[in-house]
Amino acid sequence: MKFGVVIFPGSNCEHDCFYVIESVLGKPVEYIWHQDTSVKGFDAVILPGGFAYGDYLRTGALAKFSPVMNAIADFAQKGGLVFGICNGFQILTEAGLLPGALLRNVGLKYVCRFEYLRTETTDTPFTNLLTRGQLLRIPIGHGDGNFFADADALKRIEDNGQVVFRYVDAAGQITRDANPNGSLNNIAGIVNEQRNVLGMMPHPDRSSEEILGSADGKLIFQSMVNALVTQ
C-alpha cells in the first residue's frame, strides 16, 4: 500500500498530509511532483491544500493543466482512490473529476476555525469506518469554499448520495449559522459517481491528533487504509 501526496507550486499542506500518513498512520507515502506524468505504483493519491499557482485566475484553474492531472484522471478512471482537501477539492472540480465549483465565501473573507461535519454516507472508501450521522469536528481554512452546482447537477449529487459531509451545528442540525461559507445544502464534501474520488473543504490533515484539538480527521484516512486492505 502506498500513498502519494501531490506537490503543485503553491501547495502548502503537503507536509501535513504526509505527516498524517507516515507518522500517525504509519503507512508508506511519497511525494508526487506536479510535472510527473505517471502515478504508477500508488494506491491512493492526495491533493493537498494550499494555493496552487497562487490561486491566480481562479482557485485550481491553472493547477488542472499540470501534467500530473492527466495521470490522476486515468488513475481515478481505473478506480484509484483520489482525495482532494481544500485547494485539492477546488482543483478536482476544475479538472472535472468532481461536479460543481467552489465560489468565494459569502462573507468575502477567509475563515479558519473548527466546524462540525455530519457524515451523510458511509458507502465510500473514505467513510467506511464512520457511522451515518456521525459528527466530526474538523477545521476549515479557506476563502473560496462556497460549494455551488446548477440545479440539475445538485439534484444528481443529492439523489446519488454523493454528499459525504455537511456543515452542521453542535446538535447535528443543518442550519444557516452552521454554514461558514454559503455552500448549497451546507455541502462540505462530495464524491464522484464512482465514489472513489472525494473532495472536501475541511482539513482532516489538521485534525488527526488529539493534541491539535481533534483526532476525528484520522477516521477518514483510516477508512482509506481499510478500503485498500479489504479491496
Partner 1 sequence: MTITDELLTQHGLTEREYQKIVSILKREPNLTELGIFSVMWSEHCSYKSSRVHLRRLPTKGPAVLQGPGENAGIVDIGDGLAVAYKIESHNHPSFIEPFQGAATGVGGILRDIFTMGARPIAAMNSLRFGPLHKQQNKRILEGVVGGIAFYGNCFGVPTVGGEIYFSDSYSQNPLVNAFALGIFEKDKIFYGRAVGVGNPVIYVGAKTGRDGIHGATMASAGFGEDAGAKRPNVQIGDPFMEKLLLEACIEAMHKGLIVGIQDMGAAGLTCSSCEMGARAGTGVELDLDAVPQREAQMSAYEIMLSESQERMLLVAAKDKESEILEVFHKWGLDAVTVGRVTNDGLLRVRQHGKVIAEIPNRALADEAPLYNRALLPPKSTLSSRLDDYTFLDGCEPAVIETFLSESKDWNALLKLAVSSPNLASRQWVWQQYDHMVQSNTIVGPGSDAAVVRVKGTRKALAMTLDGPGYRVARNPREGAKLAVAEACRNIVCSGGRPMAATNCLNFGNPEHPEVMWQFSEVVDGMSEACDFFGTPITGGNVSFYNETFGGDIYPTPVLGMVGLIEDISFVTISSFQDEGDFILLTEPVQRLVGKVDLEDERALQNFIASAIRDGLVKSAHDLNEGGLAVALAECCYSTLRRGAIGAQVEIPSHLEIRKDLFGEFSSRVLLTTRSSAALQKRAADAGLNVFELGRVGGKRLIFHYEGVQAVDIAVDELEAAWRQALPKLLS
Residues forming the site for partner 1 (CB under 8 A): 9-10, 12-13, 15-16, 19-20, 23, 49-51, 53-56, 109-114, 139, 141, 143, 203, 205-206, 208-209, 211-214
Residue 80 or 180: the one with the smaller Cβ distance to partner 1 is 180
Beta strands in the chain (DSSP E): 3-7, 29-33, 44-47, 81-85, 101-103, 111-119, 135-142, 146-148, 163-168, 187-191, 197-200
Of 226, 152, 228, 140, nearest to 179 (Cα)?
Answer: 140
The minimum distance between CB 190 and partner 1, in angstroms, equals 23
The minimum distance between CB 19 and partner 1, in angstroms, equals 6
The minimum distance between CB 139 and partner 1, in angstroms, equals 6
The minimum distance between CB 54 and partner 1, in angstroms, equals 3
The minimum distance between CB 150 and partner 1, in angstroms, equals 29
Residue 129 or 215: the one with the smaller Cβ distance to partner 1 is 215
Residue 174 CA to residue 171 CA, distance in Å, equals 9
Of 5, 9, 68, 69, nearest to 35 (Cα)?
Answer: 68
Residue 19 or 148: the one with the smaller Cβ distance to partner 1 is 19
Cα angle, residue 97 at apex, residues 63 and 195 outer, rounded to 5°: 140
Cell digits for 33? 511532483
Residue 86 or 154: the one with the smaller Cβ distance to partner 1 is 86
Q: Any residues with CB less than 8 A from the CB of 152 and at least 6 apart, and which?
A: none
Residue 58 or 161: the one with the smaller Cβ distance to partner 1 is 58
